[in-house]
Structure 1
Amino acid sequence: MSAEPLVIKDRDYQFLEKNRRKKFQQTARNPLTEDRSKLKQVKNNNLLAQINKAGADAKVIIKTEGGFVDPLSRLKSKPANPLARIPIKNPLMANKNQEEQAEKPEQPDPLARKVIMNAQADQLESIKNEEQESQHWEIIRKEYVRTFDLNIRHLNGQVNNPFGSNVVGTEERKNKSVQQGSRYEQDKSYTQQKYQVQTIAMKTYIENLIEMHSKMRKKWNDQDKVGTLQITIQAIKLFADNDQPRFAPYKYVYIMDILDSFSKFVFQRMKKLSFPQYTSEKLKTLTFFDISGANIPESAQEICRNWLRKVSSIRELVPRIYIEAALLPIYYFIDSTKIQQNLFKLSFQSRCIGDYINSVNYSTFLLRIGAELLPKEKSHILQMLDDFFYYMKQSQFGQSGFSTDEYLRLFEPFLLTAFRIYSENCSEQEFSELFSIYQGSNQHSEILSKIVQAFSPELIAKYSSEIFLIISSYHIDYKFKMYTIFLPKLSRGIQSMNGAPIEICNLVWIDLKQVNKIDIFLTILVSFIELINKCFKGYQKTKIFQSIIEKFNELFQQVDTSNDKNNQTLLKLEQFIKSILTTCDDIREILTIEPFLQFISFFPPQLKYNVSKDVLGMFMEREKIQKISDPIAVHSILQIAKNLNEGDKKLEDPKELFVLLKSFFEKIDFGRNLEQMLNLYTEIRASFGHINEVVEYVINKVSNLTFTAKNMFTSQKMQKKITGFLQACVAFCYITIPMIDSPLVQFKYYYMNSSIALLHNLISQAESSFKTALSILVDLPEQINGKNVDELVIRDLSSMVSFMIVLPDNPESDILHLYSGFISLLSQFKWSSRNGESYKLSLIKDLIAYLCIQKQENFPYHIDGVRSNDKLFVDQEFKATVVDQVSNLLYKIQEIIPEIAPKNYDQQENRLLIRNICHAINTILMYIEPNRVVKSVISQLVNVINKKCNDLNRDPFGRKILDEIYNLIKQTLQNIEKNAKEVKDFQVYKDNINAVLDSVKKQK
């Protein structure tokens, strides 16, 4: 008896496609191919037509006349909500509305009118509240702390005791508490003599000043104004003893705290007396310029005069002028026009103080008062600086035990304060007056450095010739120190590249060539490079850099680089490179100068890696938006990036390194020059092929290049050239994929490369990549990273079978030779022990669909320009071979069933198996006419479904899974009943399965 022939159904895919679109209301229109300018108009027209059609279908007639109500009018008035409560006014908040009305913006108070003095009309916004009055003192105080490193814990010396015999410090109190017992009265005279010392510890001195400050505050709170003034005078008298100049800054800071509190107390009290109608908050907003003597009560003015009389009665000069300066603000309550006159008078009185340290400290205090009261007045600052420069010329400048520089450091807060205040809104004329005074002095380098630092770059640049002339006269050590301060300011202030700046560059380079120490050379070079970037361009800049690198190479030969990590020269060189890239205007231009890149070559490998990484990171930080299209710039930056290969591979983080490299690669854009982009990716592959992420990145980028080229060049004349470029891109990917470590990732990229090649009609390349992907699967282990490999690749295998439909077989090879690779894979692939049969069944199902489609006259889909098997193989031999292969696959299913039926799977594995069996049955019924073999296969598969459904019905989680796949199983049973009659034992299996499924639904 002959075997029943296998019949594969014919399927009209065009008819099926039309029905599918009709069912799901789809059209063949592709909106991406339409004219975008007309798309909006068409959309609006279609929308209007749909609205009109919807209104006609609904048959809704809206009438607004003849007594009919517009149905939309109901939206005008909201229905009453019975749950809504009318807000009840809180009787406790009855005055809230009145208070809110009272909080309207106040009208200008006629008593608070502002008197604007001459040359002070634009100062009203510069001083806003009283807190700003002490801002200058806070800045000066910080300068004292920073300059002299003020810290009470570091005080260990002794100073003269001005506080009398009763002064007791912390240490003395501890010793005195021990003196107890019956002989205390007898030893009283001895203990008094013990504490009558002529010197005390410096810490004790400061503690007593702090205590005096507390007493002064307490007396003011107790309304003892005279006692407050007395303590303030006593504190200022302490300036008289200045035998230890190094202790003077400590003493000055704490005495000034007392004087500052006294000045605030008096001024705040006068505001309260002058404006009793104002609240405390309102008083805080009053500034000096909100007060005028014309609207101050006479009683308040008399109190102010009384304070001034008390001050004038002080016999000692120093306390009198200090307190008079501190009370200058109260002249706003009497006559504000006298402030300027008194300020000049007090500034001249600084000459009356014999000790020059005290004299300059007093001038510092007066600078602060002048800045608060008359911000634009600067003539008194010039007078004080002129006095200071005159004193510096005297032979007695300095004291025994001090060098000139150390003694000058005592006056640093005064110089900083004077130049800081004078530089605010400084005009060129004002700077000229100051600089002329300095030129008449002994032109000390420390003072010139503070002038350069304090004033704007534009003013420094205008006087660059005069300043450089003074710097040239200094000793070599001071000259180099001034270069580091002067050159950066000059580079930021120059307006043109001609004239003095270029001449200064040449003269500085002459000095630099005389340097014999690399540390000094690098220190000056940081500032010098910034000026070079401003003054020179192109070839001149490259030539200067070449000279610099030659000088540096000469000095570097003397450096011992045996200890790379702690070598100060290498650290300075690293700081030098970072400083240049941070301060330059165009970092891209710097990196394109070839001599500059040679600086990086001086580092040993690991440091070279760190420096190159930092340089590349700085470049990416500053060039966030702009694309790089200059090949020279790309080459230079890529050379820096290549240094990243010289680091210790064990210490590198490949992912972190890839993020940095990717940000650089993404910026490169050569426009339409796609061949140059391909060459770039080739160079990147050669340099960073050891980083998997970089290899995958270039593969994806080159793959994208193929589509860019296809879309960019569409003319027929360019087709031959474009085809060659596409072949080069596909070949690039093919030979790059093996550089990836993971074979699983290699498989995915080979399959992707095959798909891209076929889309561009490169059939031979597509076939080669496809076969390579299959060959990799055979060598894969059973598990990768703890996961079964069949679970990881089953989706890709299904996709490859679908792709194989349009990938044509080679007519010169055996029939279905690509398909034969999958048949070999079924036996050679390392399927997992648990779900391997289930995944194998899924693959066989896809292969059955592939073979049945191969027998059709027209395939369901094609690729433009590619002749698939439906056009290449139309002979009966090919079709007969297809039928035989389908029969073989059915027998393979019968071989799998005995292996999966008796196995005890868990719930998830059972769900996977049932799903795959249902899809296999539906696929078989879709493509094959049921014969004896087909019915036998279906019967065995339904039997497996029956067993696995019973297994799942044993626990709640299994019943939940059955509920999830309920529709799939029901649909499969209906499909069998409809298309395959007389299946053995089908009715029994069906009834059992339905019973299980119905019980699940009932329990749910």
Structure 2
Amino acid sequence: MEFKPRNYVAEAQSHALRRTGADLHPLSSPSPRSILRQADDHVESSNSEEFFDPLRAPNSKASAVIVDGQDLESISSGNEDSIQVQMKEWTSFKRFLMQRFPVSKMISVSSMSNTIVRSGKAYEKSSTSMHLEELDDIEKSSEEGAKAITRQEYVSRLHELKDEINRAWHAEDRVTSLKLSIKVARLLMDTSVSNFYPTLFVLATDVLDMLGDMVWERIRQKAEFAEDGTKLCSLPENFGASDVCVDAKETCYNWFCKVGSIRELLPRIYLELAILPCWRFLIEQPAESLQRLVMMTRGLADPLASAYCRLYIAYRALKFPMYDTGSLITCVNDIKLVFTRISSAKETAHGCFADSKRSLVGLMEPAIEFIMKCIFNDASLRQVGQVLVELGLGRSQEELFGGSPCVSIVLHHLLKELPTDVVSSHAVDILHLIKCSNDYSYDQCLNYRLLGLRLCEQISEIGTVDAVVNEVMQVVSQYGLDEYLKVVEAYLDILLQNQMDGQLKTILEGILKLACGKVIAEDELAGLQSILVKLLSHFKDLENVFSLNHFLQILDLMHGSSRSIVSMHILDMATRNGYVRDPTTIQLLFEISQALHDDTDLANMKNDDNQQQARLISLFVRMVDHGAEYEGHLAFLVECRGAFGSIIELKEFLVHSSNCLATKALKDGKTHLSFVKSCIAFSEVTIPSILGHIKQLHLYLETAEVALLGGLVSHCDGLIDSAISCLQSFDWMEGSRVAVDSDRILSFIRKLCSLLVMVPGNPEVGILHIPKSILSLIHSQSWSPRMKARIFCAIVSLSATLSQGRLPYHAVHPEILGNDLLFFGDSSYVHELLSLTESVLQNLVGLIEQEPSQAARGSMSLEACNCIASSFKLNEHVLPICSKLIETAKLCLSPNDKYLMSTISFLDKNLPIAAVSPAIAI
């Protein structure tokens, strides 16, 4: 056998594509002549047919009829849309009520709620002739003492009652429906389990709303249809009492009489509120009945029941298109009196509310919140001024906040609903109102905080801002850490927007003073986190944040998830603006990253937060740049390997970075070879700790290339040996059920063979020590025949390349000589290559015959034949092997197979003239 001589330069030139010059670069601007030609073409096309742009075509479905400049569809649907929005808000509010006040599983039920514990269906026992007075005799059904019932049973019983009312109504038994509705309304008299009362209110009013809707529809049917079903008229949406027939009015009046005969005040109010919209059938100004109901609520002694009754008044008032807010203002003033009575009760020794009173105020708070929303919904500035005067906060429209103090909790929700312009223009007056409204019904710090948040909604005059902030700072200086953080966090945006550096410095000093020497609670950590994140979001450069007084000291006081979140914001900010080069900043960020790493469970990488933290730490390490200080950067990499050992992806980057440092140092030529050795040693130590053999293999090979670039041949040999040893201990399952892709292993071995072209042979261990190690590896592994065959072909190609008098490429380092120079004219060297290759060919042919798949066997035969024909001269030793492989391919593949035909054509072109091989001919 004899290797085929190759002239790689000539081959590259012969296979290169022929190049021709271009008049114009395809990415350059077109010439003026081509522009004119395009314009002429456009004119011709536009003259022949009008251009139609589908993106600018009108949407027929979106068109609407416009009359006198107004959209009829929007006019007709405006009221309906407004009602739907209000209903969605009410639904959300009810859900909020039930979630805000959780209760225990067991509920103590008083005698007033015996309807819940009684079994059986009440409407089945009733008679339509039963007198309504019997409904009022609660003593008949009362039981002594209280009973316990689970919360779920209570809720289920109310749902059953709702279904019973609905079934009785549709069974024409409206007396029973009313009877059961009254019983549901009576449940609202029971406030013994106060935390359950909001849930009870939601469930009970849901039943009453259903009754009110059914009564409304019945009376509307009476107004539009006669008893025999004849249609009398169609009431318009804005109908009045004059449009309603007498029969419908009598039915409506009868319902109000039945409700008015209920003995207890609270059920009577709720039932009338349920059917309140029905007043439209009787009187022209139905909203006037609201004020009467508001006056009736003053007879309710229980503060909790009265507050929620007023809440229901506000909701039912929304049913009127133009309801009078005066009734709602009366409700607020009445609730203020209730709060005043509660706050005037005896206080504890420390001047604080008792827990029970605070709980009661908290339960009543949603009523104030919702009523305030209704009052200020779409209110003009003049209407706002009128409301403030009626609430007793202003003497006139010109002096809106010059009246008496306000109850703190009422003031809070008033401030929440006031228009932004009013808050901004009267900020100082509102601040003084907050200071003089300290009645312990609400935490004052929350009112100061809310004022700051509202001021942030609109840019205010610097004089106003400065006056407000100065007064607030004087007040909060007396607070503890938690209250202090709540207030100053709200004003932080204002300080940053107006560059009030002195106030910012004072705030940070105050935080440090209050936080030092104490264990910071979770709420306080959340406040610190919010403040530090706002500071990070405001500044563009991280150095400006680090230069703030006490910023880093405050960060050091934090711990847990709050510190981790701030650290993540810092790292994100640091890596967002490019490379990090300042040594002091690098050290600070390293310490922050180390603390973040230590506080993170990186073993649980399935958690998204943990992945984000690991990503930010890795990104920081990537963005660090020490410039020409290569030794300093290598020391930094060593520190990172010790500090962030749990981040596998980072270790891989550390090896890449170390190899990159060595390459830069070699290019600069200013660094001693000892530094390059240090980089390679760092990589050699780090690679084994990286999970995944595939990653290790490629990193070993990459580091070997760097070693060869630096002229370190012995290091290169050692790294290649480590890679082959890694392959020998390869786990094909890699800790999972999915087998590792064999193509990646094949790619690595082929890349290794390409590198071996440049690596000089070592006579001490054998010139072909590494190829023989690869062959030994192949024999020891249970790889597929197809994979082994391709590796054998790679070794054949490597041997043929090494036998050439001029290698296709050499190592860049001038002191490294290729095998073509080291063993030039050495016949024993070529003989050893041939001996190795003959052994490989024998294994290759035998392996192909063992392949069970016919199609794979044919493809393998063609691959091997092409490799052999490219590597050897086609003489009497090689032709039989090729002929045998072609014969195998013919038996396995179709005669029209393109790969088979091209391989035979290639062999025919390379056959010597005297050679004849009938097996090859088609």
Aligned AA for 2:27?
A: S
1:418 offset after TM fit, Å? 1.5
Question: How much has 1:650 moved relative to structure 2?
Answer: 8.3
Matches of 2:483 and 2:178, distance apart in 1: 54
Give the secondary-structure state (helix, strand or coil) at the position aligned to 1:415.
helix
- Answering whether residue 836 of structure 2 is matched by residue 892 of structure 1, we say yes
Corresponding letter in the other structure for 1:419: M
Q: How far, CA to CA, are the matches of 2:765 and 2:210 in structure 1? A: 98
Write the mapping of 1:157-236 to structure 2, written as runs, cut at 5 A.
157-159=110-112, 169-170=117-118, 199=144, 201=146, 217=166, 220-223=169-172, 227=175, 231=179
| Partner amino acid, structure 1, of 2:18 | T
* Identical columns (%): 13
The answer for the alignment partner of 1:417 in structure 2 is 370
The whole-number CA distance in structure 1 between the counterparts of 2:293 and 2:698 is 87
Match of 2:213 among 253, 256, 264: 264
Is the CA contact (8 Å cut-off) linking 2:761 and 2:768 kept in structure 1? no
User: Who is 1:748 aligned against?
Assistant: 698
Q: 1:125 aligns with which of 50, 71, 78?
A: 78
Question: Shift of the alpha carbon at 1:900?
Answer: 7.8
- Asked if the contact 2:3/2:871 (under 8 Å) is kept, the reply is yes
- The range that moved more, 455-464 or 788-797, is 788-797
2:800 aligned residue? 849
Q: Distance in 2 between matches of 1:649 and 1:387?
A: 55
Q: Matched residues in 1 for 2:824 and 2:622: separation?
A: 51
Q: C-alpha separation between the residues in 1 aligned to 2:538 and 2:293?
A: 53
C-alpha distance in 1 between matches for 2:185 and 2:601: 70
CA contact (8 A) 1:757 1:766 kept: yes
Distance 1:800 1:239 in 2: 84
**Residue equivalent to 2:317:** 370
Change (3 A) 1:371 1:733: farther
1:785 CA displacement: 1.6
1:784 paired residue number: 730
Q: Residue 673 and residue 313 in structure 1: after superposition, are their counterparts in 2 closer, same or farther (change >3 A)?
A: closer
Task: Kindly indicate whether residue 911 of structure 2 is the aligned counterpart of residue 978 of structure 1.
Answer: yes
| Contact 1:160–1:198 (Cα < 8 Å) also in 2 | no
Matching of residue 643 in structure 1 with residue 595 in structure 2: yes
Distance 2:104 2:207 in 1: 18
CA–CA separation in structure 1 for the residues paired with 2:703 and 2:745: 17
- Deviates most, 367-376 or 299-308: 299-308
Report the alpha carbon displacement of residue 729 of structure 1 after superposing the two structures with TM.
Answer: 12
Spell out the pairing of 1:706-721 with structure 2 (5 A cutoff). none
Selected match of 2:27 from 30, 34, 37: 37
Aligned to 2:398: none
Question: Structure 1 length normalisation: TM-score?
Answer: 0.62
C-alpha change, 1:37 and 1:901, in structure 2 (3 Å) is: closer
The aligned residue for residue 550 of structure 1 is 512
Please name the residue that 1:693 is paired with: 649
Contact 1:343 1:370 in 2 (8 A): yes
Q: What does residue 329 of structure 1 align with?
A: 277
Aligned residue in 2 for 1:290: 237
Q: CA deviation at 1:491?
A: 6.3
Structure 2 distance, partners of 1:276, 1:356, is: 45
Superposition deviation, residue 521 in structure 1: 1.8
Greater mean alpha carbon deviation, residues 504-513 or residues 266-275: 504-513
TM-score normalized with structure 2 length: 0.66
Paired residues of 1:158 and 1:200 also in contact (CA < 8 A)? yes
Q: State the SS of the aligned residue for 1:155.
A: strand
RMSD: 6.7
* One-letter identity of the residue aligned with 1:783: S
Measured after TM superposition, the shift of residue 154 of structure 1 is: 0.5
Number of the residue aligned with 1:824: 769
1:27–1:258 distance in 2 versus 1, CA, 3 Å = same
Shift of 1:737: 2.6
- Write the distance in 1 (CA, Å) between the matches of 2:675 and 2:380: 65
Please state if 1:447 is matched with 2:410. yes
Using a 3 Å threshold, how does the CA distance of structure 1 residues 30 and 700 change in structure 2: closer, same or farther?
A: farther
CA contact (8 A) 2:655 2:683 kept: yes
Matched with 1:389 is 336
Q: CA deviation at 1:945?
A: 6.2
CA distance in 1, matches of 2:603, 2:358: 48
Counterpart residue number, 1:54: none
CA gap 1:232/1:139 in 2 versus in 1, 3 angstroms: farther
Contact preservation (8 Å) 2:2, 2:873: yes
1:624-645, CA deviations, whole angstroms, 9 ceiling, x for partnerless residues?
9965567678776554323244
Deviations 1:843-883, CA, capped at 9 Å, x for gaps: 55234432354x25xx76799x999999x9999x97424x6
Shift of 1:342: 3.9
Point out the more displaced range, 885-894 or 773-782.
773-782
Unaligned ranges ≥5, structure 2: 39-60, 122-138, 348-353, 394-402, 734-739
Structure 1 residues 464-487: Cα deviation after superposition (integer angstroms, max 9, x where no partner): 444444554548996565368536
Mark the CA change 1:271 to 1:697 in structure 2 (over 3 Å): closer, same or farther: farther
- Tell me how far apart the structure 1 counterparts of residues 871 and 570 of structure 2 sit (CA, whole Å): 61
Establish whether residue 880 from structure 1 lines up as the match of residue 870 from structure 2.
Answer: no
Distance verdict in 2 for CA 1:697–1:491, change over 3 Å: farther
- Give 1:389 shift: 2.9
Alpha-carbon contact 1:465-1:500 (below 8 Å) kept: yes
Q: 2:428 and 2:89 mapped to 1: Cα distance?
A: 33
Q: CA–CA distance in 1 between the matches of 2:94 and 2:820?
A: 99
Aligned length: 824
Q: Specify the alignment match of 1:380 in structure 2.
A: 327
What does the per-residue CA deviation read over 1:641-679, in whole Å, with 9 as the maximum and x for residues that have no partner?
A: 232443588846499867644456659998999769998
CA contact (8 A) 1:9 1:928 kept: yes
How far apart are residue 971 of structure 1 and its match? 3.7
Matched residue SS, 1:493? coil
Paired residue type of 1:907: E
* Residues 352 and 611 (structure 1), Cα distance of their counterparts in 2 relative to 1, 3 Å cut: closer
- 1:831 is aligned with what amino acid? L
Mapped partners of 2:24, 2:422: distance in 1: 63
TM-superposed deviation, 1:892: 3.1
SS of the residue aligned with 1:384? helix
Matched, 1:27 2:37: no
Shift of 1:794: 5.9
Mapped to 2, the partners of 1:415 and 1:663 lie a distance apart of 46
What is the CA distance between 1:535 and its match in structure 2?
0.9
SS of match in other structure, 2:777:
coil
Q: Which amino acid aligns with 2:330?
A: Q
For the 8 Å contact 2:453–2:491, the answer to whether it is kept is no
CA positional deviation for 1:412: 3.4
Deviation track 1:65-87 (CA, whole Å, cap 9, x = no partner) reads xxxxxxxxxxxxxxxxxxxxxxx
Structure 1: gaps of 5 or more residues: 1-5, 49-102, 109-113, 116-120, 162-166, 174-193, 560-568, 710-718, 810-814, 954-958, 999-1004
Equivalent residue letter for 2:505: K
Counterpart residue type for residue 509 of structure 2: S
Residue pair 2:431, 2:468 contacting (<8 A) in 1 also: yes
Q: Secondary structure at the match of 1:373?
A: coil
Once the two structures are TM-superposed, the CA of residue 599 in structure 1 deviates from its matched residue by 4.4
- What residue number does 2:446 align with? 482
1:493 aligns with 2:457: yes
CA distance, structure 2, for counterparts of residue 429 and residue 377 of structure 1: 15
